[in-house]
Amino acid sequence: MLKPPFPAAAPIQRVQKNLLAVPERRLLNWLCSVLPGWVTPDLLTAAGVLGAIMTFVGYAASGFSVAWLWLAIVGYVVQWFGDSLDGSLARFRRIERPSYGYFIDHSCDGLVTLLILGGMGCSPFVRIDVAMLTVTGYLLLSIHSYLAARVMGEFKLSYGIGGPTELRFVLIGLTLAMMASGTRHEPIPGISGYDMFVGGVGALFVLIFIVQTLVTGRRLLEAEPGNPL
């Protein structure tokens, strides 16, 4: 069977300037050097999705007992391990599949985001509509990254000093706070402190998306042939 004539993926520059980028890269390089041969990038991608499922179950079951939140925290660690190492291992072993890897990895990222925040919305701590607002904000930022990779050849993995790893630490801290409180407190009727925090993060995502869209649009306009500016 003839393969479809898919064009080769254009080289993309990864832009990552978050606070933990350098020590995390050292750790990932070491892990890549010690992983056994049977561990493949595809297996790590699947592990990342499994970690998100664990986090979903941990949050969703926390209405029965806050002890389930430990599963959510372990899920974050498993998700980081799989998501951070799949591409790193492929590059370390020089077995990159740029088009396939880009498509599968970031398709799974969307599913992972929905699982984690959807699970949080199914917990007794965060309202589902607030969780879905944050899903929307995160996916908007993802859309910006994918579009920028296409039109500028830059794939942003961080904004300012924050990136996916820092966000995981924030979410783990939030989960520990849920365990410590053990219940939903509503300083405003119908709205808990967790709602305000998660919703605030979602609103920040939307704001960053708007600002980055304006900045990138300006850069593209200035670089466009025949630009009158």
List the chain domain ranges.
13-223
Q: The CATH number of 13-223 is which of 1.10.510.10, 1.10.3210.10, 1.20.120.1760, 3.40.50.300?
A: 1.20.120.1760
pLDDT value of position 3: 60
To the nearest 10 degrees (0 to 180), the angle between helices 69-93 and 41-60 is 170
pLDDT value of position 79: 96
CB 86 within 8 A of CB 44: yes
Q: Where are the beta strands (DSSP E) in 148-218?
A: 154-156
C-alpha distances out from residue 97 to 90, 183, 213, Å = 8, 46, 29
pLDDT value of position 1: 46
To the nearest 10 degrees (0 to 180), the angle between helices 164-181 and 69-93 is 170
Residue ranges of the chain whose pLDDT lies below 50: 1-2
The tokens of 226 are what?
A: 């025949």
Rounded distance, CA 180 to CA 178, Å?
5
Reported pTM: 0.88
